[in-house]
Amino acid sequence: MKIVVIKGSPRKKGSSNMLAEQFIKGAAENGHRIVELDAAHMSIHPCLGCSSCGMNGECAIKDDNSHIRDELLSADMAVFVTPVYYFGMSAQLKMVIDRFYSYTIKLSSKHLKTALITAAWDSDDEVMLYIKEHYKKLCRYMNFTDMGMVLGKGCGTPSMTAVSRHMEEAYILGRSV
Ligand SMILES: Cc1cc2nc3c(=O)[nH]c(=O)nc-3n(C[C@H](O)[C@H](O)[C@H](O)COP(=O)(O)O)c2cc1C
């Protein structure tokens, strides 16, 4: 499979990217081809809501998002990687998802496999509730098949993440796809 990993943290060596690396290690061991896209360090702008694309045409904005679009439209699986920011995904990742708008029909007809990898400081039961529900709804709307979620509670810093059970969990998810 071609697996596109979309990273949404401004911290290149941060917790969510550490978990993503574990996933990638496992998936690569299974022989999958991994394409990593660091959306947080690409030039991507928010959707203008101009509807010139009609949800199935050219986006009016010319930026690095066209690269993400091309990679996703030739992928078998996408992995969404993000820190938890105020109980949701980062703005960096949300911009990529909002920009699905111009190719929603094409992307949803691909029936992509997907996964979610997150990191948050808190470790209470509620911290992942809203990001998880958002992701699940996105999967239903976009005809994605969820292959698994790594909900990295208590992963507030790289040192916290390094000793968390979520590192192994991410690796096992990678091995399972
Ligand atoms: C703007 C901002 C909002 C945050 N919101 C939350 C939050 O709602 N809940 C939480 O547990 N941690 C929150 N955090 C902490 C991060 O989720 C946490 O430090 C995480 O490890 C960052 O992942 P990263 O290193 O991959 O960027 C927030 C951090 C920032 C900078």
**Ranges of H-type helices in 76-128:** 91-98, 104-108
pLDDT tens profile 137-149: 999 999 999 999 9
Mean pLDDT of the chain: 98
Q: What is the pTM of this model?
A: 0.98
Confirm or reject: Cβ of 18 under 6 Å from ligand 1: no
| CATH number of the CATH domain containing 99 | 3.40.50.360
pLDDT tens profile 78-87: 999 999 999 9
Q: Residue 119: which of 86, 155, 160 has the closest Cα?
A: 155
Among the atoms of ligand 1, which is closest to the Cα of residue 82?
26
Angstrom CA distances, 78 to 5, 72, 100, 145, 176, stand at 6, 7, 13, 10, 14
Element (H, E) at 66: helix 65-73
Confirm or reject: Cβ of 8 under 6 Å from ligand 1: no
- Tally the domains of the chain: 1
- SS3 at position 171: helix
pLDDT tens profile 52-61: 999 999 999 9
pLDDT score for 89: 98
Which residues span the domain enclosing 101? 2-176
